[in-house]
Amino acid sequence: MARRQARTVGTSIALAAGMTVALFAGSAGAEQLSDATTDPITIGHRASAGLAPENTLAAVELVKEQGPDLFEIDVQLSSDGVPVMMHDATLARTTDVEEVFPGREGDLVNDFTYAELQQLDAGAWFSERFAGERIPTLGEILDHGYHPDLGIVIELKNPADSPGLVDVVVDELNSDPRWNELAADGRLTAISFDLDAVRDFHELRPDIPVMGLGGVPQSDAELEAIAEWATSWGTNYRTLDPADVDRVHEAGLLLNVYTVNSPAHMEYVIDLGVDMVTTDFPGVLVDLLAGAEPIPDANGVVISDAVGDAPGDDLQPEHGEHVVLTNTTDRPVNVGGYYINDAVINTLVVGRGYLIPAGGELRVYTGPGTNVRKPGDSRFYNDFGRAVLNNGGDSVALFTPDDTLVDIYAY
Ligand code: G3P
Ligand code: CA
C-alpha cells in the first residue's frame, strides 16, 4: 500500500470534503474517485460489526475510535412506526427474543412494538461484555454517531416489511438540523437493495445521494438509467466481475463493495479501483490504507486456511469444515481459549491447554471428532450440531482469550 498517502485526521477530513464533490457530482465524481491510486472511502459495516454487536450504540461508539469516513446501519420499522436498527428480518440471531418472547422468535421485527423491542438484549448474543445493549432508534444513532469526521450510511432494510419506511426516515432526517449538516457536508447516504424504495427516497430528498445495492446490472442501459437518480452502486465483492468496475464508472456511478474483512481481500478490492469499501473491521482498513500494521496486536498465530465446504458432509466426524491455525513464530504458543468468529459471529473455540509448536498447525473443527494433541496432527473439535462456515465464502477472525484481535482471514 506504499503508493497511498498515510492519512491523518486532517487528510481524513480532506477526503470527506472530496467525497462531497464526488457524491454530488455524478460522473465527474466517479472520474475523481475511480483512480486505483486514490484511497477509497471507508465504511464501517453495521457500524463496527466485527468487534461489537452490529447496529448497536456500542458499535457506534467503537466506530468513532476506528476512524472510517462513514458507518452503515440498517433501519426497519417497529409495528408502531419507530425506525429501529436491525439487519435480519427476525430478531432470533441478534437478540434474546427466544427467552423474552417464547414462540415469537420467527416473527418479523415489524411484528413487535417499540416498547417490546426495548425489552430485548441486543448485545449478549455477541459477548457477555455487551450484555444490556438495546436496539437503538435512528435518532439515537445520530445522537451517538454525530461526529465532525464521520458520515452515516442509512440502509432502508426490507422496506416491503416496513410500510412507510421511506417517509418515516425522511421525517426523521427533516426533524434534526444535524442530519442536514451531515447532508450538506456530503456525509449522508441512503442505500437499499429495494431500488424503488431508494428511488422514492431520492425523490423526497434529492440533496442526499443514494446507492442501489445488488449484483451489478448486466445491461449498460440499465446502469445508465440507475445513474439518472443514484450516485453509487454497492455490490458483494465476491461476485464482482473485475470488468464491471469500469462499466459502473462509465455509467457515471461510484462503486462500493461489501463486506471486505481480511487485509488481503481489502488489498484486492482497492487494487480493482473501487471507490468505497465496506467492512466489519473499519479500523483494519483505515490502518492498512495509512500504511500501518492493519492488525496491530498480531502475534504470529495466523489463520492459514478455512475449509467451509469440506468434501462430503461439513459435519462428518473427524473431517468436516474447519479452520487451520499456524504458529509462524519460532516458539510454542499456548492458544487455549483463543476463539474464531465468522462474519455473523458464530464462535469456534480452542480447548484449554492447546499449544502450537513453532511453525506448527492446529485444526479447529466445527463438528464432532476425537481431539488430538500431537506435533504434526493437532486437532480440536467444537462438536456443534450444525455447520456454520459459509460454503461460498466467509471471513474468520481470530481472538485471544482477552478479546484481542490477532488475525482475519477470508476465503
Ligand atoms: O453496505 C451494504 C451492505 O450492508 C449490504 O448487505 O446484508 O449487510 O445489509 P447487508
Ligand atoms: Ca446493511
List, for residues 147-178, the tens digit of each pLDDT value.
Answer: 999 999 999 999 999 999 999 999 999 999 99
| Mean pLDDT across the chain | 92
Peptide bond into 259 cis (omega under 30): yes
* Assigned domain for 4 exists: no
CATH, residue 370? 2.60.40.1260
Find the 370 Cα to ligand 2 centroid distance in Å: 39
d(CA 255, CA 246): 9
* Assigned domain for 98 exists: yes
394 close to ligand 1 (CB < 6 Angstrom): no
d(CA 43, CA 152): 9
307 close to ligand 1 (CB < 6 Angstrom): no
Same domain, 235 and 186: yes
Tens digit of each residue's pLDDT (9 = 90 or more) over 231-271: 999 999 999 999 999 999 999 999 999 999 999 999 999 99
Q: Which domain holds residue 244?
A: 9-289
Same domain, 378 and 281: no
Same domain, 318 and 179: no
Q: Which residue has the higher pLDDT, 7 or 324?
A: 324
State the cell numbers at 298.
Answer: 498480531
The number of distinct structural domains making up the chain is: 2
- Which of the listed residues 211, 278, 280 should we mutate to test ligand 1's pocket, taking the one with most ligand atoms within 8 A of CB? 278
Tens digit of each residue's pLDDT (9 = 90 or more) over 259-318: 999 999 999 999 999 999 999 999 999 999 999 999 999 999 999 999 999 999 999 999
CATH, residue 205? 3.20.20.190
- Distance linking the first and last C-alpha atoms of the chain: 21
Over 50: is that where the pLDDT of 10 sits?
A: no
- Which of the listed residues 258, 260, 281 should we mutate to test ligand 1's pocket, taking the one with most ligand atoms within 8 A of CB? 258
Same domain, 283 and 305: no
Same domain, 134 and 265: yes
Find the 182 Cα to ligand 1 centroid distance in Å: 21
* Assigned domain for 19 exists: yes
Give the number of residues written for the chain. Answer: 411
Q: What is the pLDDT of residue 375?
A: 86
Contacts of residue 218, defined as CB under 8 A and 6 or more positions apart, other chains included, come to none
Q: Using N-to-C axis directions, what is the helix angle for 177-184 and 165-175, rounded to 10°?
A: 90
Percent of the chain past pLDDT 70, that is, above it, reads 91
Q: Where is the domain boundary, 230, 255, 289?
A: 289
Same domain, 101 and 222: yes
Round the CA-based radius of gyration of the chain to a whole number and report it. 22
